[in-house]
Structure 1
Amino acid sequence: MLTALEVAIVSESKSFLSSSACQKIVENVYRGRIIYTPTSFIDFLPDHYKNRGISLYDPRKAPYLNQYRLIVPRTRNILEVFQFIVLLVLYILVMVYKAHTIGPSHLKFTIYELVFTIYAIGWVLDEIASVCEHGWTVHTENLWSFLDITFVAIFWTYFGIRVHGLATDDGGTSKLALDVLSMAAPVLLPRLAFCLMSENMLFISLRAMIADFTFLTVLAVWCFGGFLIALRWLSETQDGYIAHSVITIAKWMLWIWFGLDGSGIQRSAEMHWFLGPTLMITFAFLGNTLFLTILVAMLSNTYTNLAQNATAEIQFRRAVLTFEGVKSDAIFAYRPPFNVLALLILLPLKWVLTARWFHKVNITAVRVLNAPILLIVSIYERRYLWRRSRLLSPPRKHSWLTMWERFGAHGDLQAVFETDPPQSVIDEMDDVDDVLGGDEWDNGYVNALRARRDSRANSVASGVWGRNMSRDPVIRRMNGFRRRSTRDEMTGPDVAEV
């Protein structure tokens, strides 16, 4: 059963997801303030003994080693970046060590390759579990999902060939495995940039433009395949012998397509003095001129549409990253390569132990393996989870540069940001904090203004009562909106009419 926001992601309702109400929910889910147990399609290591409903998370009431905080989207996103950096470093160590090893030991299975293989198996398992958790449709909405899937295919191809080469002691097969592994470099390096700049408009538009380019290229190859077949049949001699192979003709057409070499037009006269050059020249006009014009127009239109809706696109990708990061499978609580051990050890225990004892064994293993991470997360969230960074930002320090800025054309505008808000604004902020429960977590901006101005404590004559100054204990317990209505009733209709 999907949530409403997950349905909006699947249906790509970008306008709905970019609304302020949705973004507030997405932001709170991303930071772990709102917690819930999502519905998964396939669980590798199911542990649903305790399902959590949609609720607000209180870090002060939770244990220090709370294993559920490992699957909070923000925490998981940070951990995934570090895990990928470790994978990239191990990959570079393997390839660099191979490049500097000359002689019979060049194809030897080294300790670097062993560590990389074990860690990569855990990383690939995490990626496959992510696809099974939310389904292919939601997973592929992520910016770097196509890079991850490409690396998974490259790694499993390398792993199969490498194991076969080591088993048969065949140097050629082992060399082929390393050649396949070298193809992962164009995938891993851009993937790091996608991780670090996931909300950059360039990468968001690049993903969409690659999809359009792939579609148009496949369509062009399909349509231009008729030229290849016709030239292949023209290359047959009177006796039925083939003068030019299909691969040779395809190579000539490819060079013409990219504008690299026009030898195919010259050699086409060997097939037929008139029909051969006619087909090649027609293909050159359609492929090298018309196709490129359509491609540039299509990509320009795609980028323009994305740039016009940049805010909606960025917020949509943020929602995808958030809800794709909420996990219910217990396998995600284990870091690679420990997730492989968890799958091999705990999954058989699932069929032996009861649900309660399996849950105890699982959370004990998670807390032991992730104790430092859980402790750091718990300490951080107890201090900063519910603190509003925008309202609690430190005051701006005055320097000679800020004093110089006051002499500019817009120097008077800075005074607006340094002036305290009116009392009515503070009252309304206080009411909103009461409704949202904000004062339970921080006593920040509003109370700081009260202490600085020292106005609400002495505002009895004005008829404005603070939360701690109300004469009626019943009114003291009321929230902001109820307290305001109570004050209106106390003033009476005559005062309201005035």
Structure 2
Amino acid sequence: MSPRPGFPITHTSSHRSLSEALRAVRSREEQETLLGDGDEEIADPDGCLRAYAGPQQVFVPDPHAGLPVYVSIHRIRRIVLASIDDPYTVDQLKEPRMNVLIVKPLVDRLYDPDDVSIVYCLLVNRVQFLREQSYQHHHQSVNVTRANLCELLAMKLLRRYDEDVTGRPGLLLLANILVAGFDPFQNAPHEVCEEVPFARMSLISRGGYEGKSNALEISIISESKMFLSSTACQKVVDAVYYGRIVYTPNAFIDIIPDHYKHKPISLYDPRKAPLLNQYRLIVPRSRNIIEICQFAILLLLYCLCMAHRDHTRFTGYEVCFVVYAAGWVLDEFASMLEHGWHVHTQNLWSFLDITFVVVYVIYLGMRLHGWTVGNMGECRQALDILAIAAPILLPRLAFNLMPESMLFISLRAMMADFTALSLIAVWCFGGFLLAMKWLSMGNTSVDPEDAPNSITISKWMLWIWFGLDGTGIQESPTFHLILGPALMTTYAFLGNTLFLTILVAILSNTFSKIAADATAEIQFRRTVLTFEGVKSDAIFAYRPPFNILALVILVPLKFLISPRWFHKVNVFAVRVLNAPILVLIGLYERRYLWKSKKMGQNGPLKKGKESWWSLSSFNVHADIQAVFESEPPQSVVDRIEEEDEIEDAILENSFAAAREASPATQVRRRRFSSVWQG
């Protein structure tokens, strides 16, 4: 099978010397220097580098449309079902014996340098096995093992692609594997497309990209943290985050669709792109900085609105806050539609954003209704509801500024467990509330008007729950002389002692799981932030509150003019409204996006040494850093490689002799040979 054009394959040998390993590490570390220093690269007017010379295509067709995705998905499922019949943990799957008997043969069998959809098919099977384990209880642990095996195979296949193809073609190949769109029913047989409704929907194509998902999205949905934390995957995630790799994402629903152009997955050269490049607004790093600034403006307007609150009229600060917050809520709603609810809720601060949206909608509805009917009491209540958004907005800014803090990552997970457990507890303890209410209704010794109502009983129960007050225990004889204290004491034991003990145990277990694999958790959140940062909807190019005007003007205009002219109008409006931001992004990226081999981090270096004004030169141990700043001469490199080859030969002979002399090794060898022969 011949290699795919544009992806030259360089197969590595089974034995890798120390110098080869070091060169591989250096090649991964120097992925930022893949851009040439000359003008030999061919680039589109938008700065996307091309591997071929020829006419530019406005809408690039799908280069992977011929891959047998449907067949590969079912082929992988049959292989995994035949390979795993017993439950294993992830650590057991990584053991040398399982690696030799199952994992490595499957990797060799599935590896195909011409098929970039195999990783996607493995992750799709992982999602299916995880779904089956939720309702097939007799195969629950086995299906979890099969799902873990799919993730492990995907990780090892991606690493092999990374090792076989290096440099610029290697980075582009990994990007095609992770972010290229695929359809599960792609190239399915005709009879399948006629029977399955989803397959028929996939045939209705408006360009060949609608309704497709990619491997990165599937790994986020299935929470494949081991796969996402791998070196090869993070290489692509970092390149997409900083905007070195550009592509046109696939959106679930577009509010303002502008698909006149579709960019292939390619490297981006800011020196060959226009200074006002509107596509740089969807680069995850740029979007993250812009969204932090937008939220800071929202928080400032909120503070000014509440500091000058007046329920009798709309102040200027409140009007500015209402309009700007409406645009911010529209941006949040579009984010939910962009990649779906499941992906959006994986964001670190999504629960805070959704809570603020609910508070804002309730406030705005009550405020407008009270102002319309002239009810000042309702207007005051609307501002009181808006006041409870302060505990949401202030922590949200901290989440933005420190997204990789283990405190916030653990807090998000523990909040989900705490909410679920609290809802279950309220549901179960509601029976105590009903019992005590009915006991108070049947107590003839107490005047019905003096009997505590449901709200009062709920307050007593809540105070006992958190250990604040024991009024409920003191007043329990008013319900019933014997049953009242018995019920309240039982509730106090279950709520204040047993529930809190279970809650602390669950939260401690959640925190310990996250802390045990902190690196994978951080990289998973970074991947979610990167994937959500690449936007397809044109509405994200408009800053609040201009996105409201874009919604009102561009959506009707979409049906009145051709796609080409709609694209021109959209690009002109985006460039005019975002001109200062685009100029800053363009100037920064032309200097710092790529590192030249002849340039340092901040500019040219003279003779490999730092300039005299560098702050690092005043460090006591500056010589330790300076020894790595300049590349060693070729004579030193040749000497190191010569010594490494001699040492590798000596070590190989020593280990071979030791293995031959070891009786245990000979016994293991006979066992493995008998297994393979059997």
Scaled by the length of structure 1, the TM-score of the pair is 0.79
- TM-superposition CA deviations, 1:148-207 (whole Å, max 9, x none): 111111111111111112212221121111111111111110100000001111000000
Deviation (angstroms), 1:234: 1.6
The 5 A counterparts of 1:355-370 are: 355-370=563-578
1:138 equivalent among 332, 343, 347: 343
Matches of 1:308 and 1:317, distance apart in 2:
16
Give 1:475's aligned residue.
none
Aligned with residue 264 of structure 1, among 438, 450, 472: 472
The residue that corresponds to 2:408 in the other structure is 203
Deviation at 1:285, TM superposition (A): 0.9
2:217 corresponds to 1:6: yes
1:45 is the counterpart of 2:256: yes
Are 2:276 and 2:582, in contact at CA under 8 Å, matched by a contact in 1? yes
* In structure 1, C-alpha distance between the alignment counterparts of 2:335 and 2:625, rounded to whole Å: 48
Shift of 1:397: 5.6
Structural mapping, 1:469-484, within 5 Å = none
Measured after TM superposition, the shift of residue 414 of structure 1 is 6.7
RMSD, aligned α-carbons: 2.4
**Partner residue in 1 for 2:280:** 69
Deviation by residue 1:91-121 (Cα, 9 ceiling, x = unmatched)? 11111122xxxxxx66321111111111111
1:235 match: secondary structure: helix
The answer for the alignment partner of 2:550 in structure 1 is 342
> In the alignment, what sits opposite 1:354?
562
Structural mapping, 1:216-235, within 5 Å: 216-235=421-440
State the match for 1:479 in structure 2: none
1:330 counterpart = 2:538: yes
Q: What SS class does the counterpart of residue 39 from structure 1 fall into?
A: coil
Of 276, 283, 290, the residue aligned with 2:491 is 283
- For the structure 1 residues 269 and 363, does the alpha-carbon distance in structure 2 shift closer, same or farther, using more than 3 Å as the test? same
Distance in 1 between the 2:596 and 2:522 partners? Answer: 22
> Which of 387, 390, 393 is residue 188 of structure 1 equivalent to?
393
Identity %: 65
Q: Helix, strand or coil: the match of 1:64?
A: coil
C-alpha distance in structure 2 between counterparts of 1:312 and 1:348, whole Å: 45
Provide the secondary structure at the position in 1 that maps to 2:330. Answer: helix
Say if 2:532 is the partner of 1:318. Answer: no
Could you give the per-residue CA deviations for residues 55-112 of structure 1, whole angstroms, max 9, x where no partner exists? Answer: 11121222111111111111111100000000111111111122xxxxxx66321111
Question: Can you list the C-alpha shifts for 1:213-241, whole angstroms capped at 9, x where unaligned?
Answer: 11111111112122122222222226698
Structure 1 partner of 2:365: 160
Distance 1:285 1:64, change over 3 A: same
* 2:331 maps to 1:126: yes
Structure 2 CA distance, aligned partners of 1:106 and 1:94? Answer: 11
Give, in angstroms, the shift of residue 399 of structure 1. 5.9
The AA in structure 2 aligned to 1:375 is: V
- Alignment correspondent of 2:463: 255
> Equivalent residue for 1:59?
270
| Pair 1:427–1:42, CA change in 2 (3 A) | farther
- The change in CA–CA distance for 1:425 and 1:122 in structure 2 (over 3 A counts) is farther
2:516 alignment partner in structure 1? 308
- Residues 73 and 256 from structure 1, CA distance in 2 versus in 1: closer, same or farther, beyond 3 angstroms? same
Letter in 2 for 1:167: T
**When the two structures are superposed, what TM-score results if normalisation uses the length of structure 2?**
0.58
**More deviation in 72-81 or 370-379?**
370-379
Indicate yes or no: 2:314 matched with 1:109.
Answer: yes
The separation in 1 between residues aligned to 2:387 and 2:407, in whole angstroms, is 27
SS of the counterpart of 1:180?
A: helix
How big is each residue's C-alpha offset from its partner over 1:378-435, in whole Å with a ceiling of 9 and x where there is no partner? 111111111279x934747676751xx69xxxx9x7786578546388689xxxxxxx
Which residue of structure 1 aligns with residue 308 of structure 2? 97
- Specify the SS of the correspondent of 1:236: helix
In the alignment, is the contact (CA less than 8 A) between 2:592 and 2:601 conserved in 1? no
| Helix, strand or coil at the partner of 2:535 | coil
Say whether 1:88 aligns with 2:88: no
Matches of 2:376 and 2:503, distance apart in 1: 44
> Which whole-Å deviations, capped at 9, do the CAs of 1:208-266 have from their partners, x for residues lacking one?
01111111111111121221222222222266985332222222111111111112112
Alignment gaps of 5+ in structure 1: 99-104, 429-461, 463-498
Matching residue's letter, 2:551: L
Higher relative contact order by CA 8 Å / sep ≥ 6: 1 or 2? 1
Q: Residue 410 of structure 2 contacts residue 514 of structure 2 at CA under 8 Å; is this kept in 1?
A: yes
- Determine the C-alpha separation between the residues in 2 that align with 1:344 and 1:273: 67
Q: Which amino acid aligns with 1:260?
A: L
Aligned mates of 1:374, 1:183 — CA distance in 2: 36
Provide the residue aligned with 2:501 in structure 1: 293
What amino acid maps onto 2:301 in structure 1? L
The residue correspondences of 1:314-463 to structure 2 (distance < 5 A) are 314-387=522-595, 392-393=600-601, 395=610, 402=620, 417=628, 421=632, 423=634
Runs of 5+ unmatched residues, structure 2: 1-211, 603-609, 643-678
Letter in 2 for 1:181: L
| Cα deviations by residue, 1:444-489 (Å, 9 ceiling, x for unpaired) | xxxxxxxxxxxxxxxxxx9xxxxxxxxxxxxxxxxxxxxxxxxxxx
> Alignment partner of 1:60: what SS?
helix
Q: Secondary structure at the match of 2:272?
A: coil
What secondary structure does 1:386 align onto? coil
State the number of aligned residues: 415
* Helix, strand or coil at the partner of 1:353: coil
1:450 matched to which residue of 2? none
Over 3 Å counting, the alpha-carbon distance change for 1:137 and 1:418 in structure 2 is closer
CA, structure 1 residues 25+235, in 2 after alignment: closer, same or farther (shift >3 Å)?
Answer: same
- Aligned residue number for residue 178 of structure 2: none
Query: Is 1:215 the counterpart of 2:415 in the alignment?
Result: no
Question: Which amino acid is 2:305 matched to?
Answer: V
1:271-311 deviation digits (Å, cap 9, x = unpaired):
22211111111111111111111111111111111111110
* CA shift in 2, pair 1:415/1:149, >3 Å: closer
Partner of 2:18: none
